[in-house]
Amino acid sequence: MNREGSLITKKIIAYAFKNSLKEKEYHKISIKEIMADAGYRRQTFYDYFVDKEQLVLWICEQEITENIQHFIGYEHWTDILGRLLLYFNKNKLFYKKILISGNQQLLDLTLLPQIEDLMLRIMTEKNTSADRKKSITEAERFEISRFYAFAATGIIKDWVLNDCQAPLEEIKEYLIRMADKLS
């Protein structure tokens, strides 16, 4: 199958899985069920994924990339942060169930490096701007980005676990203030 067809199939499986998560808990959803919902034979699942964990990992990676990476360089970083939060808000049920099922590391694996990347980009931009007072070394940029990524990931997970009750704008402004403080 060509790459595009493959991507579409994966997205259909992902959609069916997210749909099942609206009604059931993570551990109670079977591959058979997901594939019946998607309109495929059970066996087809294994052409794309090893297990449910790998499917979750793929969903996080794919969708977070579509909401961060694809916009770096095109949108202002504050808008990218807003877009990311909007995505989590829309998918809060999915992420909450992933988190409480004991699969925190699946989200960490995908979210951490992408926020780290975004923060690196923010600092590179600020560092080259004319009004910059003191320059930050590359090593410092890496350590600050990593620190920021851990904090932002923690804050986003906490927000999702609390059903995104705090207003999106509040979380966004908080993350922006902290990025400004560190960079």
Shortest reach from residue 140's CB to its own copies, in Å:
9
- Are 97 and 25 within 8 A, CB to CB? yes
Determine if 154 is a binding residue for its own copies (CB under 8 A).
yes
Query: What phi and psi, each to the nearest 5 degrees, are found at residue 75?
Result: -115, 155
| Most distant CA atoms of the chain, gap in Å | 61
Determine if 102 is a binding residue for its own copies (CB under 8 A).
yes
In this chain, which of 158, 163, 169, 180 binds its own copies, going by CB under 8 A? 158
Determine if 153 is a binding residue for its own copies (CB under 8 A).
yes
Virtual torsion, Cα 53, 15, 9, 49, nearest 10 deg: 10
Beta bridge partners, 75, equal 72
In this chain, which of 91, 103, 114, 145 binds its own copies, going by CB under 8 A? 103
Determine if 181 is a binding residue for its own copies (CB under 8 A).
yes
In this chain, which of 31, 68, 144, 160 binds its own copies, going by CB under 8 A? 144
In this chain, which of 48, 71, 87, 147 binds its own copies, going by CB under 8 A? 147
E runs forming strands in 9-141 = none
